[in-house]
Chain A
Amino acid sequence: MNSVLLEARKLTKRFGGVIALKSVSLTIHRGEIYGLIGPNGAGKTTFFNVITGLYACDEGEVWLAGERLDLSRPHRVAAAGIARTFQNVRLFANMTALENVMVGRHAKGRAGVISAILRTRGERGEEAAMRAKAMELLRYVGIERRAYDLAGHLSYGDQRRLEIARALALEPKLLALDEPAAGMNATETEALRQLIEGLNRDGLTVLLIEHDMRFVMGLCHRIAVLDYGEKIAEGAPAEISRDARVIEAYLGQGAACP
Chain B
Amino acid sequence: MRQLRWPYWLGVLLVAATLLLLPFALSAIGTAWVRITNLAILFVFLALGLNIVVGMAGLLDLGYVAFYAVGAYTWALLASPHFDVHWPAWAILPLGAALACVAGVLLGAPTLRLRGDYLAIVTLGFGEIVRIFLNNLSAPFNITNGPKGITRIDGLSLAGIQFNASETFLGIPFTAPIKYYYVLLILLLVILIINLRLADSRIGRAWVAIREDEIAAKACGIDTRNVKLLAFAMGASFGGIAGGMFAAIQGFVSPESFVLNESIMILAMVVLGGMGNVWGVIAGAMLLSFVPELLRYTVEPIQRALFGRMLIEPEVLRMLIFGAALVLTMRFRPAGLWPEKRHKQEMSVAS
Contacts and interface: CB of A to CB of B under 8 A. Distances in A.
A96 B343 contact: yes
B201 A75 contact: no
Contacts of B212: 91-95
Nearest to A111: B202
Given A54-B219, A103-B220, A116 B209 contact: no
Given A74-B218, A99-B342, A119 B197 contact: yes
Contacts of A93: 212-213
B348 to A, nearest CB: 10
A90 B197 contact: no
B153 interface: no
Contact of A54 (B215, B230, B276, B346): B215
A136 interface: no
Given A75-B221, A90-B215, A103-B222, A113 B205 contact: no
B343 A92 contact: no
Interface in B190-222: 194, 197-198, 201-206, 208-209, 212-213, 215-222
Interface of B: 194, 197-198, 201-206, 208-209, 212-213, 215-224, 230, 234, 276, 340, 342-343, 346-347, 350
Contacts of A252: none
B200 to A, nearest CB: 8
Nearest to A116: B201
Contacts of A148: 343, 346-347, 350
A150 B197 contact: no
22 contacts: A54-B218, A78-B220, A90-B215, A91-B212, A91-B213, A92-B213, A92-B217, A94-B340, A94-B342, A95-B208, A99-B342, A103-B222, A106-B220, A109-B202, A116-B197, A117-B194, A119-B197, A130-B202, A147-B350, A148-B346, A148-B350, A149-B343
Contacts of A83: 219
Contacts of A107: 220-222
A111 B227 CA distance: 12
A102 B201 CA distance: 10
A86 interface: yes
Interface of A: 52-54, 73-75, 78-79, 83-84, 86, 90-96, 98-99, 102-104, 106-107, 109, 111-113, 116-117, 119, 123, 126-127, 130, 147-150, 166, 170
B213 A116 contact: no
A113 B234 contact: yes
| B interface SS class | helix
Contacts of A111: 201-203
Contacts of A75: 218, 220-224
B203 A103 contact: no
B202 A99 contact: no
Given A92-B213, A116-B203, A78 B197 contact: no
Given A107-B220, A116-B203, 14 more contacts: A74-B218, A75-B218, A78-B218, A94-B340, A95-B342, A99-B205, A103-B217, A106-B205, A106-B220, A106-B222, A113-B198, A116-B201, A147-B346, A148-B343
Contacts of A112: 202-203
A138 B163 CA distance: 54
A221 B1 CA distance: 49
A91 B202 contact: no
A249 to B, nearest CB: 29
Contacts of B221: 75, 78-79, 104, 106-107, 170
Given A99-B342, A127-B201, A150-B342, A94 B208 contact: yes
A201 to B, nearest CB: 25
A91 B217 CA distance: 9
B219 A78 contact: yes
Contacts of A127: 201-202
B241 to A, nearest CB: 14
Contacts of A84: 219
9 closest A-B pairs (Cβ-Cβ)?
A107-B221, A116-B201, A78-B221, A92-B212, A90-B216, A74-B218, A103-B209, A75-B223, A111-B202
A54 B216 CA distance: 10
Contacts of B220: 75, 78, 103-104, 106-107, 166, 170
Indicate the member of A92, A127, A150, A166 with the most B CB atoms within 10 Å. Answer: A92
Contacts of B223: 73, 75
Contacts of A96: 342-343, 346
Contacts of B204: 116
Nearest to B195: A117
A79 B343 CA distance: 28
A83 B218 CA distance: 10
A107 B197 CA distance: 20
Nearest to A101: B220
Contacts of B217: 92, 103
Given A113-B230, A117-B198, A91 B216 contact: yes
Contacts of A109: 202
B115 to A, nearest CB: 16
Contacts of B224: 75
B218 A92 contact: no
Indicate the member of A95, A104, A170 with the most B CB atoms within 10 Å. Answer: A95
Contact of A123 (B201, B219, B347): B201
Contacts of B213: 90-93
